[in-house]
Amino acid sequence: MVTSVVIIILSLAMFVYWFRYSCVLILESDWSEDQARAIASQNGLSFSRIEDSLTGAESAQALDKVRDSLDRDLDRVLALLSKCPGVQEAGQSLECRMLMLDYRLMQAWYAVTRSTASPKAQHALREMALVVGYLAGECGDHLATARSQA
């Protein structure tokens, strides 16, 4: 019985480690940052200016404003992705699904660390911004592919 519990706990820990490492690798990979910036400027998204927002954000209320901005950006990007022809046909990629889950986990981590550990909360917000940027880049790639095929 004890052995089974230890194996389950170790397996869960290894899965969490694999998941986080995979998300970090995806976000550090060579994704379409230029496409993401173009989508951001065309649609009034603010994820690309996250570092400027976090520089002066010391209070929990200021961090909450950044989080709300990222949530709005994510909603807009997901709405754009739902209108992309390639995404509708093939469904979202595994990377996008993993990053959406990572975004939700970072939201939870932000909620836990927001009032007690500002640097950790800021790190969570930075990763959330990277996820939104990655998804915006995916949207830009799909739109560019659709334009070239038309």
16-40 pLDDT, tens digit per residue, is 999 999 999 999 987 777 788 888 8
Number of neighbours of residue 74 by Cβ within 10 angstroms: 21
- Check if the beta carbon of residue 36 is closer than 8 Å to that of residue 136: yes
Residue 33 burial (CB < 10 Å; 0-12/13-18/19+)?
A: middle
Q: Where are the domains of the chain?
A: 30-149
107-134 confidence digits (pLDDT tens): 999 999 988 878 898 999 999 999 999 9
